[in-house]
Amino acid sequence: MRIAPLLGLSAPCLAALLLAVPVVAQTAQRKPAPRNAVVYFHYPLDGLRVPERFTVRMGLKEMGVAPAGIDRPLTGHHHLLIDVDAPPSDQPIPSDYNHIHLGNGQTEVVVTLPKGPHTLQLLLGDSTHTPHNPPVISKKITVYVR
Amino acid sequence: MLGVRLSLVLGAIACLAASTLSGFAQERPRQRSPAPPDAKLSFVGLENNAKVPSKLTVRFAVSGMEVVPAGTVRRNSGHHHLLIDSDLPALNQPIPSDFNHLHFGSGQTETEISLPPGRHSLQLLFADQDHVPHDPPVMSEKIFVEVADAPEEKARSAAAPGARVFFRDLQDGATIPTRAIIRFGVEGIALVPAGTKSENGGHHHLLVDTELPALDREIPSDFNHIHFGRGQTETELSLPPGEHTLQLLFGDHEHVPHDPPIMSPRIKVRVVAGPVDGTRAVIAPPPVEKPAGRTPAPNDAAVYFVYPRNGETIYPNSTIRFGLRNMGVAPAGVVKPNTGHHHLLIDVPTPPLDAAIPADLNHIHLGGGQTERRITLPPGKHTLQLILGDDQHIPHDPPVVSERIEVIVATRIKKPGRRR
């Protein structure tokens, strides 16, 4: 189920296409992440039934959180992916209703979703919103909004 | 110094804890993983009876086996344990985890330890995924090291060129009342609490009526040498009427002046009893800039424990997880509105909320923006509290503080705890 209306998703896609060349050029330097770094959900857990409005809480192991734009080793900021597959990990994570950026270093976010099943996934991005190398990404979980 | 003393005290607690712990644990012998007979464990570059500084890095080497993180099940592999001042533990039990039995469960092959002066024993012991020594046990020789009594001349931290300290609003020859607020400023070098090692940082010392102390060692701590180890930038000083001298001297994390020393000129002040007309404004003008730095926080911001909850029973080795509502996490030193970094306080009361949070074994700074921390506690009751600090480790205004929760640490938990 796609929550983002047409505009939300297509614009960044277009932008990504247009920007493809310079973006690829800058991807050479992805920030390293420790192998044992893990991003995971405190809440909700896979398969849980949740109300329409709920708080997603995230945990991060072996790394620290820093707001977007802050370039410190072993840090990154959270991105919550809703009802989408993980974007390519060598480009900045798109910013739309399906890719929620927690750019101020937040570790939880309140989301409102329509009834039905939805998938959630966490992906850490570095100061430029690009996933680390290797990417620090959670399992994709499914929640049922009742 | 404080750190060493603290670790001693904690070490003593841990010893006690370990003795009670082994009482519990000696019931069920565990399955031991086999080890090749030629596996060897040794210290790198550390001889028996070596003379060492109180703070030293110990490196370990293993041959014939592989180092893997704890929990990884693999043949002929394991992780290091360093036994300090203790005999071999029971070899059919998990190695205790305390200040005398250090675990390197992430597969580390070196560590920095602090030892008090005197003779100490060190021994390495390898163990499998469940922290149980192998069969036959893979261990090093027990070696002894000697920590010198008198602290040797310490390496001095380098000072950045152009760094300086100065008195704010206080000139040479000023007249001040018997109780005056003295403010100090610093430029070109960061203000960090004592005990926190920093490339280019230190804390203030106010020298009252005294010459400069020796610059190659710790600044003395007495009525004439006032330490501001929490990174304070002002103090209320009471002096008897008469002439006095004041001087500022910056010290690094170990209270040793920098090289070259960062100090103010020595100024003379005249202290008079009673109100001083017109000078109060000179001494303590209303602070124009950030008053000793409390960063505003949203009213609805909150910090809380995701795990454990109040009253829960946890294992001695537990990961404490933090939650933060309506604010973001940023590493220490990052100035960004509505962000801060976590501090985990263990078994201590809430510190003053208008000064930098102390940095020691009971006040754990998560300056890298971490949102969880694995800690080791001896069995018994403990209190935990979270405080958010701003870029300078100072609590926000209003402070973002969790309630102080109580947890019980036990080696056995009846109902399975949530452990990941």
Contact B329 A63 (CB under 8 A): no
CB–CB contact B329 A105 (8 Å):
yes
Residues B89 and B218 in one domain: no
Find where tokens 């930038």 sit. Answer: B233
**What backbone phi and psi angles, to 5 degrees, belong to A24?**
-65, -40
CB contact under 8 A, B370 and A63: yes
Give the 3-state secondary structure of residue B247: strand
> Which has the higher per-residue pLDDT, A49 or B26?
A49
The two structure tokens encoding residue B158: 């380098």
Among A12-16, B154-158, B248-252, B303-307, the range with the most confident prediction by mean pLDDT is: B303-307
CB pairs under 8 A between A and B: 78
| Domain membership of residue A25 as a residue range | 6-145
| Cβ atoms within 10 Å of A85's Cβ, excluding its own | 9
Domain assignment present for residue A22? The answer is yes
Average pLDDT over residues B216-243: 81
Residue B362 falls within a domain, yes or no? yes
pLDDT confidence of residue B280: 43
Average pLDDT over residues B196-205: 82
Side by side, the strands of the sheet bearing A38-43 are: A38-43, A53-61, A108-112
Residue of A59, A64, A106 with shortest CB distance to B321: A59
Cβ–Cβ < 8 Å for A16, A114: no
Residue B175: helix, strand or coil by DSSP? strand
Of B312 and A26, more confident: B312
pLDDT band at B71 (very low <50, low <70, confident <90, very high): confident
Lowest mean pLDDT among A73-77, A100-104, B70-74, B76-80: B70-74
Q: Which residues of A touch B (CB under 8 A)?
A: 36, 40, 42, 57, 59-61, 63-67, 70, 72, 74-75, 102, 104-108
Q: How far apart are CA B117 and CA A90, in angstroms?
A: 52
Same domain, B358 and B312: yes
CA distance B33 to B170: 70
In a domain, B418, yes or no: no
In a domain, A118, yes or no: yes
Contact by Cβ (8 Å): A113, A107: no
Q: What per-residue confidence (pLDDT) applies to B189?
A: 85
Report pLDDT digits (tens) over B76-109. Answer: 889 999 999 988 888 888 888 877 888 888 888 8
pLDDT at A11: 40
Last residue of a domain, one of B249, B283, B317: B283
pLDDT above 70 for B1? no
Same domain flag for B242 and B175:
yes
Shared-domain flag, residues B142 and B170: no
Q: Is residue A1 part of a domain?
A: no
Phi and psi angles of residue A127, each rounded to the nearest 5 degrees, phi first:
-60, -25
pLDDT (average), residues B283-294: 48
* B328-329 and B339-346 beta bridge pairing: parallel
Best residue of A72, A78, A138 to probe chain B, by most B CBs closer than 10 Å: A72
Residue A9: which region, alpha, beta or left (left: phi > 0; alpha: psi -120 to 50)? alpha
What is residue B274's predicted lDDT score, i.e. its pLDDT?
64
Nearest CA in chain B to A63: B370
Do B117 and B173 lie in one domain? The reply is no
Examine residue A80 and state whether it is found in any structural domain, yes or no: yes
In DSSP terms, which residues pair with B328 in a beta bridge?
A: B339
In a domain, A12, yes or no: yes
pLDDT at B72 (0 to 100):
80
pLDDT at B63: 86
Domain end point (choices B221, B256, B283):
B283
How many CA atoms lie within 13 Å of B161's alpha carbon, on the beta-carbon side? Answer: 0
Q: Which of A91, A79, A87 is nearest to A30 (CA)?
A: A91
Which of B371, B372, B390, B402 should we substitute to test contact with A (largest number of A Cβ atoms within 10 Å)?
Answer: B371
B370/A65 CB distance under 8 A: yes
Alpha-carbon distances of B369 from A57, A66, B122, B232, B253, rounded to whole Å: 16, 6, 34, 23, 21
Shared domain for B170 and B140, answered yes or no, is no
Residues from chain A contacting residue B330 (CB–CB below 8 Å): 65-67, 70, 105
- Residue B201 belongs to a domain: yes
- Provide the β-strand partners of residue B43: B60
- Give A1 or B412, the one with higher predicted confidence: B412
Asked whether B60 and B118 are in contact (CB, 8 A), the reply is no
The pLDDT of residue A22: 40
Could you tell me which of B355, B159, B387, B390 has the C-alpha nearest to residue B258?
B159
Pick among B370, B374, B391, B418 to test the A interface (most A CBs inside 10 A): B370
Q: Nearest-CA distance from B369 to chain A in Å?
A: 4
Q: Are residues B53 and B21 in the same domain?
A: yes
- pTM of the full structure: 0.47
Contact B184, B236 (CB under 8 A): no
For B319, name the nearest residue in chain A, comparing CA atoms only.
A61
Domain of B200 in residue numbering reads as 164-283
> How large a percentage of chain B has pLDDT more than 90?
30
- Mean pLDDT is lowest, of B43-52, B182-191, B280-289, B354-363, for B280-289
CA dist., res. A20 & res. A16, Å (int):
6
* Domain of residue B74, CATH code: 2.60.40.10
Domain assignment present for residue B48? The answer is yes
On the question of pLDDT at B37 being above 50, the answer is yes
Contacts of B370 in chain A (CB under 8 A): 60, 63-65
Query: Same domain, yes or no, for B122 and B195?
Result: no
Query: Is pLDDT larger for residue B373 or for residue B163?
Result: B373
Verify cis geometry, omega within 30 degrees of 0, for the bond prior to B260.
Answer: yes
Picking from A20-34, A94-108, B104-118, which range would have the lowest pLDDT averaged per residue?
A: A20-34
Interface test with A, best of B324, B329, B419 (most A CBs within 10 A): B329
* Amino acid B418: pLDDT: 52
Q: State CA B295 to chain mean position distance.
A: 23
Q: What is the band of B179 on the pLDDT scale with cuts at 50, 70, 90?
A: confident
Chain B residue with CA closest to A76: the answer is B369
Using a CB-CB cut-off of 8 Å, the residues of chain B touching A46 are none
- Residue B308 DSSP code: S
Distance from CA of B56 to the nearest CA of A (A): 25
Taking alpha carbons only, the member of A72, A92, A43, A55 closest to residue B370 is A72
Among B147, B177, B210, the domain-final residue is: B147
Residue A69 lies in a domain: yes
pLDDT of B334-348, one tens digit each?
A: 999 999 999 999 999
Task: State whether B260 and B175 are in the same domain.
Answer: yes
| B320 in the same domain as B385 | yes
Are A67 and B328 a contacting pair at CB < 8 A? yes
Instruction: Show Cβ contacts of residue B164 under 8 Å, excluding neighbours closer than 6 positions.
Output: B186, B187, B188, B262, B264
pLDDT of residue B151: 52
Mean pLDDT of chain B: 82
Number of domains comprising chain A: 1
Same domain (yes/no): B271, B318? no
The answer to the question of residue B383 being in a domain is yes
CB pairs under 8 A, 24+ apart, for B219-228?
B219/B249, B219/B251, B219/B255, B219/B256, B219/B257, B221/B255, B227/B194, B227/B203, B227/B251, B227/B255, B228/B203, B228/B204
Give the model confidence (pLDDT) of B310-366 as tens digits.
999 999 999 999 999 999 999 999 999 999 999 999 999 999 988 899 888 899 999
**pLDDT greater at residue A100 or residue B31:** A100
